[in-house]
Amino acid sequence: MINRHWLMATPLALLLCLEVGCGSSREVAIKGQLGSSTSAQVDGPIAVQFFDIVDTAKPSLVHSITLDRLAAFDAKAALDGDEVLVRAINDRDGNNACSAGEPWAEVRVPVKEDDTVDAVSLELNTGSCPTE
């Protein structure tokens, strides 16, 4: 005899999985250091953003932190992909994006099997802002 409760529980479990997300994301530890080139004047808040790279054409912002100055950072981000893009922006206008004249830097790093990445070093410099 078929157990009706089991038949009802299976679709409910699938629905719950879709609602809260049953992906393969894991918490990845990301540590690094921010610096700047001698030509870049870095002052004010620095937005450090972490993008999950599942689709290389469109990385997804998954976490961000703000630092008061150039310094070391230590963060965790939930990632599905095998790479993370770390971007730092001297966010002078407070829009959480790179604007003309704001020093910035980014680097893509692979996620290791122990859910960490090698230490990240970013040197903020002036230049054309990245495009998403």
Mean pLDDT of 19-23: 50
CA 62 – CA 77 distance, rounded (Å)? 7
Residue carrying structure tokens 């953003």: 49
In a domain, 19, yes or no: no
**CA 56 from centroid of its chain's CA atoms:** 14
pTM of the model: 0.80
pLDDT of residue 124: 97
Quick one: pLDDT band at residue 33, thresholds 50, 70, 90?
Answer: very high
Residue carrying structure tokens 């604007």: 99
pLDDT of residue 40: 85
pLDDT of residue 109: 97
Contact assessment for residue 50 and residue 78, using Cβ atoms and an 8 Å cutoff: no
Residue 99, domain CATH: 2.60.40.1120
Here the tokens at position 79 are 């990632």
DSSP 19: H
pLDDT of residue 23: 59
In a domain, 115, yes or no: yes
- Number of H helices and number of E strands within the chain? 1, 7
Here the tokens at position 21 are 């997300």
SS3 14: helix
- The pLDDT tens digits of the residues spanning 46-90 come to 999 999 999 878 899 999 999 999 999 999 999 999 999 999 999
Quick one: pLDDT band at residue 127, thresholds 50, 70, 90?
Answer: confident
pLDDT of residue 13: 47
In a domain, 66, yes or no: yes
CA 131 – CA 18 distance, rounded (Å)? 31
In a domain, 14, yes or no: no
Q: Is the model's pLDDT at 8 over the cut of 80?
A: no
78 lies in which domain range?
25-124
The domain total for the chain is 1
